Amino acid sequence: MKIAIIKWIDSSYYQYNEVLAKDIETPIPKLLMSCGFLIEQEKEYVAITQDIEVESEICRLVMSIPNECIKDLIILDVNKQKK
């Protein structure tokens, strides 16, 4: 199992409640750090997840980050870490 630590540019607008499009401010790109279990590393993107069910390997809270937005990527292999 691998952990990914990603520094990336995000320009999304997060809103938990319903909102009219005219009331949304234009998102300003921000430099973020995200961390999660690495589930895919492809030519176009890196996908991480917050949770993985141990027996079934079902994931939840998956995020896909386009490689064009990634400024730095660190991958740690937790199977090789000492206990």
pLDDT of amino acid 23: 80
pTM here is 0.80
Summarised one tens digit per residue, pLDDT across range 28-82 is 899 999 999 999 999 999 999 999 998 998 999 999 999 999 999 999 998 876 6
Position 13 pLDDT exceeds 80? no
Task: Report the amino acid identity of residue 67.
Answer: N
Query: Where are the chain's structural domains?
Result: 2-80
Please name the residues in contact with 9: beta carbons below 8 A apart, sequence gap of 6 or more.
29, 30, 31, 32, 69, 71
